Structure 1
Amino acid sequence: MKSTISKLCILIVIGLTVSACSIQRSAISGDKRAYGYSWEQEKQIGQEADQQIQQQYGLYDDDDLQDYVDEIGQEMLAVSHINREDTPSVYAGTDFYFRVLDNPVVNAFALPGGYIYVTRGLLSHLENEAQLAVVLGHEIGHVVARHASQRAFEQQMGQIALIGGAIGGELLGLPGGDILGIGSQAAQLLFLSYSRDDERESDQLGVEYASMQHYKAAEGAQFFVSLERMSEQAGQSLPNWQSTHPDPAERANSIPELAEEWRAKGYEQTIDNKDQYMEKLNNLIYGENPREGFTRNGLFYHPDLEFQFPYPDGWQVINQRSLVAVVNKDQDAVSIMTLDGESANAEASVNEFLNQEGINTEGKSRTQSNGLNAYRAEATGQTEDGTQLKFYVYAIEYDGSIYRFLNYTTADKYSNYASRFDEVTGGFRELTDRDILNIQPVRLQVVKTNRSGTFQSFLPRNLDDFSITVSPEDLAIMNQVELDEQISVGTWLKLPNQ
């Protein structure tokens, strides 16, 4: 809840086009080819979007872990095509940045120009440094091969329809570049699906870079086995590994084959650094961090900021650092709460929205809610395609901050949802329940076993008492074992602790 997101409009379709192309030499092959953006433009796009990504999701608060991931990333970068003697000069001196995002979703992604992200959720699902090296090498491969810019060029003269709330791509479980608040060019590149050939090339590059640094690159295959298990458990394809990606089982088979090719070329692969990796994971937050907001029995609680509010039955809550969105099942009504760090009071916050071009105010007034000063207004506007929208804007002053709710739907459905919007905004109040105020996240305790037994026999017996849902099967997948698998003495395990 550290920044405001402007011009949120889930129902607006944004047409994005690539206005020009750039002919430059490939860092991989050295051949000339067409890209949607120049390398300098890609670096600029990445730099601008990086700030928004950090604000939206936040960096994980562990400098030692951040430095460790950066160190491994820089190792992969040193042997990548960006740093070779025959690399075209346009790429010379490009800095890459490796960041750990405070998010439980298992994901890694890259922005053009050298910005690479892994989530704490992904780190918890890896077993050693060699697997991390392959993942980071894979993401470096996407950037160096300029896959996003290639896809952008292929879309030239066309449009990419981005519908906020139902965009054709997801990032860390939150739909929509508009909700992310990032620039249109960055949103376009983020949500362009890589082709299967792009993914296969990045797999090859990830294995190549890891092998050249003498990591056991074949270890990377086990991560894709975990992805396959996660997919099967969910009963569907994983949202972060879309249908354009090669099947995880295919990649689990191909990665050891690629690693063997590099071993045959003389690159000894002996490093996995499991001990060092496991030590870095000790005390890592597992799953959702309830201190940053969670739902229970129809209420959204935020222990750190000490507030709560209700949400309608059946509506989905999307909780991110910069906003909390509550969306109905049909996705035609939404309530979005942001922390307004600019306005002096609730009235100023509401007027800041009303003063935008194209917004027509129907009425506004001061009010009070649960002893807190608030200001409310109703207004109308329309999308670029002429769809009429009606807004209910509500700002409330609490604990020295301004919280603004932007509620809206189409004008013809507003009467159906007005009471729902009132339910959300009118229920905002101070959080006083000491049990909820004191709730703590689940953390990983990394241990070496001092006995043998099935994996399940090592799990805590009080999982049902944890602050979040912790599934034995999820823990087995995270440890890359089966629930009934025999674990020998001296095996590293990642177990939940609270």
Structure 2
Amino acid sequence: MKRLFVQFFIIIGLLLVDSCAKNPVTGKRDFMLMSEGQEVAMGQQSDPEIIAYMGLYEDPRLQRFIDEKGQQMVAVSHRKNLKYQFKIVDSPIVNAFAVPGGYVYFTRGIMAHFNNEAEFAGVLGHEIGHITARHSAKQYSNAMLGQVGLVAGAVISPEFAQMADVAQQGLSLLFLKFGRDAESQSDKLGVEYSTKIGYDAKEMASFFSTLDRLSKVSGAEEIPTFLSTHPDPADREEKVGKQAANWQKQVDASTLKVNRDSYLKMIDGIVYGEDPKQGFIENNHFYHPVLKFQFPIPAGWKVENTPQQVQMADSEGKAVMMLSLAKPNTLEAAGQSLLEQYQLTLVESKRDEVNGLNAFIMIADQKAQDQQQATVRTMIYLIEYNGSIYTTIGASAITDFNTYFDTFQNTMRNFRQLTDSEKLSRQPERVRIKTVQQNATLNQVFNSFNVPEKRREELAVLNGMKLEDRVNKGMLIKVVERDNGSISVRR
């Protein structure tokens, strides 16, 4: 044990040698264990994982816009040498994020909530700021220092080895949370960069108010990721407003752009909310119109739908289910592959039918590595449908398995073909830009466009306005409609 700790501190010492690098933004020396080449390599590795996880939103006009503005901003940034890439991902969540090496992502959800180019430019500058100030690299360096401890601990305790494995997951960059100092610095850089390319950064401050209202309308569980780990929105709005005013003293403020109408016209037709073609939930059922299947979701369970799988979790966190596609194969071979992939020990298995579809069912355990961990028991259904094999796995501690047995089975045995024509033809909601016909309040204008009362506050937030705000004839506003022109009440 003594030798182990001597080796541990020798490793620490080696890591600290030449580990301080000059920060491109502050000019100060920072503790850094990642070179610029490693940053780029990490971004190159993470980008395809992020795209596979979220999917790209195909809109050539919007893509050209973010590319053009992104490259303009790179030219005034502190790290012009990186090869930046700007992408729109197909997610309704209101979020923007960046990963090391120059990769910046906007969800279609946040693009729908911007109300002018200046708001977009402020957030763009914020995300580029994370890259130029090397915030991700700092987080990585701190994590690596901790990883040395995990590696040393793994010799002593298997659970530390498991933690180390989790810490190395590629998609962890997608959920990276920065400290408040880093976020404040990125806000400051967002003001600087957006002002330098000719936008009014006060609009960036106003967008924080929209995010704050969005979180209150949506509820605590749906706080926008862009807002969730950031400084207090009211305090943030005030600080950014002051920073914008200071920067505007250094330029001709009369030339700074907002470009509201041009932005609104550009996002006319953008998909809003969940896209039915990716699957949707209604009345505790999941429907997939493209793949033409459906199954029930346990009442009260939380659901996350991604292009790769549907994940469901018990509200108490004691059980999970996930549905995904297996590689084309026989049912038995696909089952064996799952056992190997998750290191499961087969308890029992059988051939069966589920609503006329061939199925293979397994009960299997994942043994605990020590006495302090519970054995996990799984129920696995593999079902052949339309030339594919759909796999649903339900898992809980073996001590809770009987409690969740019927819940797992109810979902899995009710997987079936989707035949409801209304659900098969369900169209997405889209943002539609309308011209105000007379001077009125926003609420009165919504009434003239037949916006349901229960959705007016939601759409007021989408417009960055309040229902009592006055709007003038000829002004553009957003409403939400389906492709057939109807405005949905269901949300």
TM-score range, shorter chain: 0.7 to 0.9
Shift of 1:185: 5.5
Task: Output the amino acid matched with 1:492.
Answer: L
Corresponding residue number in structure 1 for 2:72: 75
Contiguous gaps of at least 5 residues in structure 1:
1-17, 84-91, 162-177
In 1, Cα distance between the equivalents of 2:70 and 2:368?
A: 43
Corresponding residue number in structure 1 for 2:267: 281
TM-score computed with the length of structure 1 as normaliser? 0.84
How many residues end up aligned between the 2 structures? 451
Task: Output the amino acid matched with 1:436.
Answer: K
Q: Deviations over 1:267-304 (max 9, x none)?
A: 54421222221111101111112232122222111112
Equivalence map 1:233-312=2 (5 Å): 233-234=217-218, 236=220, 238=223, 240-241=225-226, 244-266=229-251, 268=253, 269-312=255-298
- Are the counterparts in 1 of residues 130 and 182 from structure 2 also a CA contact under 8 Å? yes
In 2, Cα distance between the equivalents of 1:160 and 1:276?
A: 52
Corresponding residue number in structure 1 for 2:9: none
Q: Deviations over 1:374-407 (max 9, x none)?
A: 1111111135563210111211111121111111
Corresponding residue number in structure 2 for 1:491: 475
- Are the counterparts in 1 of residues 25 and 132 from structure 2 also a CA contact under 8 Å? yes
- Are the counterparts in 2 of residues 347 and 374 from structure 1 also a CA contact under 8 Å? no
Shift of 1:183: 8.2
**Is 2:139 aligned against 1:154?**
no
Corresponding residue number in structure 2 for 1:411: 398
- Are the counterparts in 1 of residues 268 and 431 from structure 2 also a CA contact under 8 Å? yes
Corresponding residue number in structure 1 for 2:358: 373
In 1, Cα distance between the equivalents of 2:451 and 2:292?
A: 26
Equivalence map 1:169-248=2 (5 Å): 184=168, 186-234=170-218, 236=220, 238=223, 240-241=225-226, 244-248=229-233
RMSD over aligned CA atoms reads 2.7
Equivalence map 1:275-354=2 (5 Å): 275-340=261-326, 342-354=327-339
Percentage of matched positions with identical amino acids: 36
Corresponding residue number in structure 1 for 2:367: 382
Shift of 1:256: 2.4
**Is 2:405 aligned against 1:421?**
no
**Is 2:12 aligned against 1:27?**
no
Aligned mate of 2:436, from 443, 449, 458 = 449
Higher-Rg member (1/2): 2
Task: Specify the SS of the correspondent of 2:295.
Answer: strand
Corresponding residue number in structure 2 for 1:88: none
In 2, Cα distance between the equivalents of 1:47 and 1:56?
A: 15
Shift of 1:487: 0.8
Label 1:404 to 1:256 Cα distance change in 2 as closer, same or farther (>3 A). Answer: same
Task: Output the amino acid matched with 2:281.
Answer: T
- Are the counterparts in 2 of residues 20 and 37 from structure 1 also a CA contact under 8 Å? no
In 1, Cα distance between the equivalents of 2:142 and 2:252?
A: 36
TM-score computed with the length of structure 2 as normaliser? 0.85
- Are the counterparts in 2 of residues 36 and 151 from structure 1 also a CA contact under 8 Å? no
Shift of 1:236: 4.3
Label 1:458 to 1:242 Cα distance change in 2 as closer, same or farther (>3 A). Answer: closer
Aligned mate of 1:129, from 84, 104, 117 = 117
Contiguous gaps of at least 5 residues in structure 2:
1-11, 150-161, 483-491
Corresponding residue number in structure 1 for 2:34: 37
Shift of 1:338: 0.6
- Are the counterparts in 1 of residues 440 and 472 from structure 2 also a CA contact under 8 Å? yes
In 1, Cα distance between the equivalents of 2:46 and 2:148?
A: 18
Name which structure has the greater RCO, CA cutoff 8 Å, separation 6+: 1
In 2, Cα distance between the equivalents of 1:281 and 1:150?
A: 35
Equivalence map 1:88-127=2 (5 Å): 92=81, 94-127=82-115
Label 1:123 to 1:242 Cα distance change in 2 as closer, same or farther (>3 A). Answer: closer
Shift of 1:462: 5.5
In 1, Cα distance between the equivalents of 2:309 and 2:317?
A: 17
Corresponding residue number in structure 2 for 1:391: 378
Aligned mate of 1:433, from 407, 417, 420 = 420
Shift of 1:40: 1.6
Task: Output the amino acid matched with 2:77.
Answer: S
Label 1:481 to 1:182 Cα distance change in 2 as closer, same or farther (>3 A). Answer: farther
Shift of 1:129: 0.8
